[in-house]
Amino acid sequence: MGYASTVKVPFGPQHPALKEPEHFLFEVDGDTVVGVTPRIGYVHRGIEKALELSTYGHGIYLAERICGICTIAHTCCYAQAVEELMGIDVPPRANYIRTIMSELERLHSHSLWVGLVAHEAGFDTLFMYAWRDREVILNLFQELTGGRVLHAINTLGGVRRDISPEMADKVRRALEHFEGRTKEYLRIVRTEPTFLRRTRDVGVLKPADAARLNAVGPTLRASGIKGDVRRDDPYVAYDEMPFNVITSDSCDVFGRTEVRTEEMMESIGIIRHALEHLPEGVFRVRAPRNVPAGECVSRVEAPRGEDMHYARSNGTAKPDRYKVRAPTLANIPALCKMLVGIHVADIPIILAGIDPCFSCMDRMVFVRSGGSTGRAR
């Protein structure tokens, strides 16, 4: 009597469950979340403007730093957009190397995620094992490109480094080890009772909602909808790769875990196929400095879902407008849907469930109109 029926609980920007600064305001009734207001924009660095102020050659370094986990997806997307504007054809060998790199990135990103979701579920042993085994992929990256996390492998007109036959053998050997570990994770997430009880029917997103709210990537596929840019609109060499688009009908965090773990198995298959059929020839062509006027949209399936870049050029060496739409932004409406009607204790695991990458996402700033501070919000 006389008490407000709901309580507002702020979450972030500094919170142990969030690796990045973002804020959610939860409206809580007892132990049930009845409303959620996301407040995004803390990681807004103004990268689109920076891209417009730098030349196309410099832009690829900035595109690499949109996100440190999907760096190959972003550089691939950037390079594709600019190459289409330039009207240059990438050599087939470069396309195959880009495919291999994209899939290695998916392996590292998904295994990282399996660890994080296990951590949020209170299953730290799996977290530690997943991150230990992920080092195998990072070591491969270091040998293939020189960098563990940022690789600088994609460049305009192709890739920077070739894959030698000895290196290909090394990749095959590492994948053999990693495949065994992935099978083990698949067994654990499917059979471990504590993990199942923590993830089943948690964060439910019905297929109709997923489609209506335009979810992308594993979040969409875990709701039983086959949506994958690699299949729907093949880029680099995906039209020549045999793979299945993994879906799950369970529509919850368990489904998202299953989809990502099975996708790792598919990625291993794609890398093996690409290494086997690596075309001979050059891996880089020279890119012109100036770009003819025009505009272009390019799409890539990043580990978190569909990544979209838009470029408009005015015939100079710098883009006139550049726009990035990262997968996490597309998943935020679906996330808000999942977060309503749940227990407070489930918030971290549902947040982690969409594999949020806020640095990809924060592309804009609202300036309070008519306000006296003019502070960016």
Partner 1 sequence: MAVNWARSGSPWLIHFNTGGCNGCDIEFVAAITPVYDVERFGIKLQGSPRHADILAVTGPVTVQIAHSLKRVYDQMPSPKFVVALGTCAVSGAPFRNCYCVHGGVDSVIPVDAYVPGCPPKPEAMIDGIAKLLQKIRGTKG
Please state the φ and ψ torsions of residue 35, each to the nearest 5 degrees: -160, 150
What CA–CA distances, in Å, run from 233 to 227, 229, 237, 300, 336? 10, 5, 11, 9, 28
**Between the CA atoms of 335, 339, 345 and 349, what dihedral angle is there, to the nearest 10 degrees?**
-20
Q: What is the DSSP letter of 368?
A: P
> Count of residues for the chain?
377
CB 193, min distance to partner 1, A: 25
Cβ 43 to partner 1, closest distance in Å?
Answer: 5
Question: Measured from the CB atom, is 178 or 283 closer to partner 1?
Answer: 178
Nearer to partner 1, 41 or 92 (CB): 41
Least distance between partner 1 and beta carbon 138 (Å): 8
In the complex with partner 1, the residue whose CB is nearer, 21 or 207, is 21
Residue 162 CB, nearest approach to partner 1 (Å): 24
Q: What type of residue sits at position 286? A: R
**Cα 197 to chain centroid, rounded:** 27
Find the shortest distance in angstroms from Cβ 289 to partner 1.
21
The candidate with the shortest Cα–Cα distance to 139, out of 114, 162, 173, 165, is: 173
Q: Which two tokens stand for residue 304?
A: 């978190």
Give residues in contact with partner 1 (CB under 8 A).
Answer: 13-16, 19-21, 41-47, 49-50, 53, 61-62, 65-69, 71, 112, 115, 127-129, 131-132, 134-135, 138, 148-150, 357, 359, 365, 375-377
Minimum Å gap between C-beta 328 and partner 1 is: 11
Q: Return the C-alpha torsion angle 75, 80, 83, 84, nearest 10.
A: -150
What is the nearest approach in angstroms of partner 1 to the Cβ of residue 109?
9
Looking at beta carbons only, is 237 or 330 nearer to partner 1?
330
Angle at 118 between CA 135 and CA 142, to 5 degrees: 15
Strands (DSSP E) found in the chain: 7-11, 23-29, 32-39, 154-155, 158-159, 294-302, 305-313, 319-325
Choose among 111, 120, 170, 119: nearest CA to 143.
Answer: 170
Return the number of the residue (32 or 366) whose C-beta is nearest partner 1.
Answer: 366
